[in-house]
Amino acid sequence: MDKVTPPGAPSGAFRVGFVPGVMPGKWERAWRERMRRPLELVTVEVSDQEKALREGRVDMCLVRGEVDRETFHLIPLYREVPVVVVPADHPVTAYDEIDIAELADEHDVLHEHPGLALAQAVETVAAGTGILVVPMSLARLHHRKDVAFRPVTGVEESPVGLAWVRPAPGDPDDPDIQAFIGIIRGRSPRSSRG
């Protein structure tokens, strides 16, 4: 179904990417209440977040981790707690949290393994052939009855932020980008940018 742009609104949707695990719903609702231009949310893999911005597939992106600060602006939003995902009957489930050093004897600790999709990695954990360390939101996103997760210390938290391409020198600020920044920062519809 084609989206209809309201009369007087800029043509085309304002596209905001978001990586799996990030929940942009409250910001989407605020945008729809305040803005005439339609908002389109686009799922973007972490490995593709910078490329999606560079290629213009999204106007802004809720990203995980760091981005090239010479190419992109980045507003840090929050840091996600790392968790270890284990089979449901693993001894780790007896703890409220565990230090990564205590998992040193595990035969296969995966940290968002680049050659393995996250769903496959969780399946590997469920089969009892490894454990996985990921941000909590991703563990929740891929939760199954045959796995459990616990917060893990000794591992860096995963930063989440809002990124967009730096405009060329002399180019004006995009008003929709500024509006979305205001929404993310919790500004009321009447507050000024200052």
Structure confidence by residue, pLDDT tens digits, 32-76: 999 999 999 999 999 999 999 999 999 999 999 999 999 999 999
Encoding tokens for residue 47? 């490995």
The tens digit of pLDDT for each residue in 90-136 reads 999 999 999 999 988 775 665 555 546 888 888 989 998 888 889 99
**Percent of the chain with pLDDT strictly greater than 70:** 86
The whole-model pTM stands at 0.81
